[in-house]
Amino acid sequence: MIRLITIAGFVLCGVLALALELMARRDTDRIAPLSELLDQVMVSRAVRLTIMVFWWWLGWHFIVAAPAPAAS
C-alpha cells in the first residue's frame, strides 16, 4: 500500500506537468507554454548551464552510474 502511494506521488507530478502544459496551450494569455518560458530563461548563461547540467546528469545517472548495493 505504501509502495503504491509512493509511486502515485511520482505519477501525480507527471500528471500535474502534463495538465500545466495543456492549460498553458489552451489559454496562452493566462499561463505561458513551457517553450515560451524556456525561450525567456535560456538566454541567461546561468540558467542554460544549470538546466543542461541537470539534463546531462539524468543521462549519466540512468545509463552510466550503477546503483549502489542495497543496504542489508
Partner 1 sequence: MSEKVGTPVGARLRTNAAWIGILALTSGFQFFRGAPMDGMVFGVAAALLIGDVFGLLSFVRIPSPRPRRWVSIAAGVVLTLLLTFLPRYSIADGIILVAIGLTLMPFVWADPPARMQEESTEQQDATTDATRVAIRRAALLWSAVGVLLCLWELGSFFLAMPSPAAEFRHPPLSDLIDPIMNNPFGRLACVALWLLAGVGLLRRGREQK
Please report, as ranges, the residues that interact with partner 1 according to CB under 8 A. Answer: 2-3, 6-7, 9-10, 13, 16-17, 20, 24, 28-68, 70-72
> How many angstroms separate the CA atoms of 55 and 62, rounded?
11
Smallest distance, partner 1 to C-beta of residue 45, A: 6
Cβ at position 11, least distance to partner 1 in Å: 10
Q: C-beta of 66: minimal distance to partner 1 in Å?
A: 4
- Which helix (H) or strand (E) covers residue 24, if one does? helix 2-26
Start-to-end CA distance of the chain, whole Å, equals: 22
